[in-house]
Amino acid sequence: MVVSCLRIIKFAWQDFYRNFWLSVVVIIVLILALSSVNALVGLNVLNGEMLKILQNKISVNVFLSEKISAAQLANFQNYLHGIKEIDKVVYVSPEQGLSQFKAKHKNDQAMIDALSELDKNPLLPTLVLFANDTKAFGNILAQIDSSDYAALVTDKNFDDHEDAINKINSFSEKARVVGLVLAAFFALVSILLIFNAIRIIIYTHREEIGIMRLVGATNSFIRLPFIVESIFYGLFAVALTTILCYGVCWLALPYVNAFFGSSIDLFAYLNTHLWKMLGVEVAGVILLNVVSSGLAVARYLKV
Amino acid sequence: MIRFRNVTKHYEPNVYALRDFSLHIKPQDFVSIVGKSGAGKTTLIKLLTAEERPTKGRIIVGGWDITNIHLREIPFLRRQIGVIFQNFMLLPNRTAFENIAFALQVCGAAPHKVAKIVPQILKIVGLGHKQDFYPHQLSGGEQQRVGIARALIHRPKILLADEPTGNLDAINEQEIINLLKKINELGTTVILVTHNKGIVNSLHKRVITLDAGELVNDQHHGKYII
Ligand SMILES: Nc1ncnc2c1ncn2[C@@H]1O[C@H](COP(=O)(O)OP(=O)(O)O)[C@@H](O)[C@H]1O
Ligand SMILES: [Mg+2]
C-alpha cells in the first residue's frame, strides 16, 4: 500500500517534469488566478485601513466664545463627555490653534506675513469632537444647541470627509467586481488547461496504460498519478504566488506608506494571515485541479 | 480450468465473432487454436481476460464465473492469466529488466521482491545475460521471451499466446514454442493461437479449429486441418 502510494507520487512527479513546459504554462495560469484573488483581498485590506484613517479624521469643530472661563470650559467638556455618541473631545486653545495653523502653512509666505500683520490672535478657543459613527454628528450638534451651553458656542463647522469615503467605497466596489471577474476568468482557463494537459499526458502514456491493464494494475493505480500531478501543479502555483505576493508587498510598501502618510505593517498582516491564506488557497486550488483532472481521466481513461 | 458455455459474442452492427461456442479445457492442458483470420480467435482471448464481455453464455475460469465480473475484480483476474502477443507489447524506452519489473511494480510489489523475482524469471526464459538491453537491441525471439517473462511474473495458472510467433523466423519460432512447452510442463495451462501448420502438427496436442465464430473441429492429438 505504502509502496503503491510512493510509486503513484513518483509517476506523477516524472510526468510533471517530463512535460516541463506544459506544467509551466498550467502553473502560470494558476498563479494569475490566485494573484487575482490575492489582489482582491489586498484591496479590501487597504480599503479598510483607508476608511479607518478617514473615520478618525472626521470631526466637528465647536468654536467657543473668547470670554469663556476655565470653569465654564470644564463644565462644558464634562457635559460633552456625557453624550454617549461622542468618542473623544480635544480642547485646542487659541495659542495651540495658531501654532498648528502656522505649522500647516509654513510654506505659504503670504499667509505668514498676513498673520504677523495682526496684533492679536484671531483664533477662538475650540473643542474638537470625534464620534464613533459619522452619522451621529447631526444628533450631537442638536443636543448641544438645546443645552445650557449653547450660549458659549459662537460657531460650529463640519470637517467633511463623507465625500471621500463614498468615493473610496465606490472605487473599491468597482475594483472588487473587476477582480472577481478576472479571478473567475483565470479559474475557468485553468480548468480547461488542466483538463487538456492531463488529456495530452494520458495520450502520451497510452502504451504504458495498456500494459498496466494487461498485467493487472488496479484502476486507481492507473488513474491516480494523473490526479496527483494536477495537485503538484496546485502546490507549485500556491508556493510561487505566495512568494510573488510578498515581493509585490515589499515593492509597494513605500508607496502605500507615502499615500497613507503613516507606516502600515503589511508584512505583519501577511505573517499573521499566512497560514489561513495558504490553507484556503491550497484547498481551493486542489479542489479545482482535482475536479479538472478527474474529468479528463474519467473522459479519456476508460477502464 | 476454463469453460465456455454456449458463448456468443456479437459486435455491432452484425458480426458474430463467436457463436454458441462451448469448450472445456482441463488444468495443465496445452491447447492450440487455429482458424482463418477473422474466425474469432483473438475474441476468445479477450473474453478470457475480460477485455470483452460475452453477449450470451457463461465463461468460467478456475471455478470463477467471470461472465459478469465487476470492474474492480478484473485486475485480479489478469494477475492470474498471462498473455503474450504477436507484437510483443514491450515498452521501447525500458530495458528487458525494467519491462518485466514494471509489471510487478504497478501491482504494488515491494522493491526487494522485484529485485529478487525479475532475475529468476529472466533466467527461466534464458535472457539473464541481456537484462539491460532495450527492446530494439534484442532479436524478435528475445523480445518475445521478455514478453513471456512478463506474462509469467505473477505466476499465473494460465498463459494465453495470441499468435506469439507471427513476427518470427522459423528458428526463433521453434525456440518460443519449446519455451511454451517447458512452461506447460511446469504446470501452467497454455492456450496457443497460431497459423503455423507445422508447429501444430509437431506438438501432438489438442487442436481446436474455429471458423466464423463456430467450433468446427476438436481433436485431442490433433492435426491442422483447414
Ligand atoms: N471491436 C470490434 N468491433 C467490431 N468487430 C470486431 C471487433 N473485434 C473483432 N471484430 C470482428 O470479429 C471477428 C473476429 O475477430 P477476431 O477474434 O479478431 O479474429 P481472429 O481469429 O483473426 O483473431 C472479425 O470479423 C472482426 O472483424
Ligand atoms: Mg487475431
**pLDDT per residue over B184-195, tens digit each?**
999 999 999 998
Q: Are residues A239 and A219 in the same domain?
A: yes
Write the CA distances from B74 to A214, A274, B50, integer angstroms. 10, 47, 7
> A245 and A180, same structural domain?
yes
Q: Name the percent of chain A lying above pLDDT 90.
A: 41
pLDDT of residue A160: 62
Residue with cell 499566512: A274
Residues from chain A that touch B91, judged by Cβ atoms under 8 A, are: 207-208, 211
Last residue of a domain, one of A160, A184, A202: A160
How far apart are the C-alpha atoms of A300 and A303, rounded to whole Å?
A: 9
Q: Ligand 1 centre and the CA of B172: distance in Å?
A: 28
Q: Which residues of B139-167 are buried (b: 16+ CB within 10 A; e: fewer)?
A: ebbbbbbbbbbbbbbbebbbbbbbbbbbb
Identify whether residues A48 and A177 lie together within a single domain.
Answer: yes
Last residue of a domain, which of A112, A139, A160? A160
- Check residue B35 and give its pLDDT: 93
User: CB-based contact (8 Å) between A214 and chain B?
Assistant: yes
Range of weakest confidence among A162-166, A212-216, B207-211: A162-166
What number of CA atoms fall less than 13 Å from residue A149's CA on the CB side?
Answer: 23
Name the closest residue on chain B to residue A217, using Cα atoms. Answer: B107
B214 alpha carbon, closest ligand: 1
Which of A115, A134, A160 is the endpoint of a domain? A160
Structural domain boundaries enclosing A82: 59-160
A138 and A76 share one domain:
yes
Q: Would you state the torsion angle of the CA atoms of residues A62, A66, A71, A77, taken in this order, to the nearest 10 degrees? A: 10
Of B71, B76, B83, which is closest to A303 when you measure between CB atoms?
B71
Residue whose C-alpha cell is 472661563: A69
Which residue(s) pair with B31 in the sheet? Answer: B191, B206
Give the span between the Cα atoms of B47 and B51, in whole angstroms.
Answer: 6
Find the helix or strand (DSSP H, E) in which B81 lies.
strand B81-85
End-to-end distance of chain A based on CA atoms, in angstroms?
21
Which contiguous run of DSSP H or E holds residue B25?
A: strand B15-25
Of A111-115, A133-137, A203-207, A271-275, highest mean pLDDT: A203-207
Domain identity same for A71 and A103? yes
Give A29's Cβ-side CA count (13 Å radius): 19
In this complex, do A3 and B110 lie within 8 Å of one another by their Cβ atoms?
yes
Grid cell 534464458 is found at: B126
pLDDT tens, position by position, B79-100: 999 999 999 999 999 999 999 9
Task: Work out the burial of residue A255: count CB atoms within 10 Å of its CB; fewer than 13 is exposed, 13-18 middle, 19 or more buried.
Answer: exposed
Same domain, A186 and A274: yes
Regarding whether A182 and A156 lie in a shared domain, the answer is no
Q: B104 CB contacts (<8 Å, ≥6 apart)?
A: B113, B114, B117, B118, B153, B154
Highest average pLDDT, of A23-32, A45-54, A116-125, A156-165, comes from A23-32
Please tell me the total count of domains within chain A: 2
To the nearest whole Å, the CA of A195 is away from the closest chain B CA by 24
Q: What is the torsion angle, in degrees rounded to the nearest 10, for the CA atoms of residue B28, residue B33, residue B38 and residue B43?
A: -10
Write the residue with the smallest CA distance to atom 17 of ligand 1.
Answer: B40
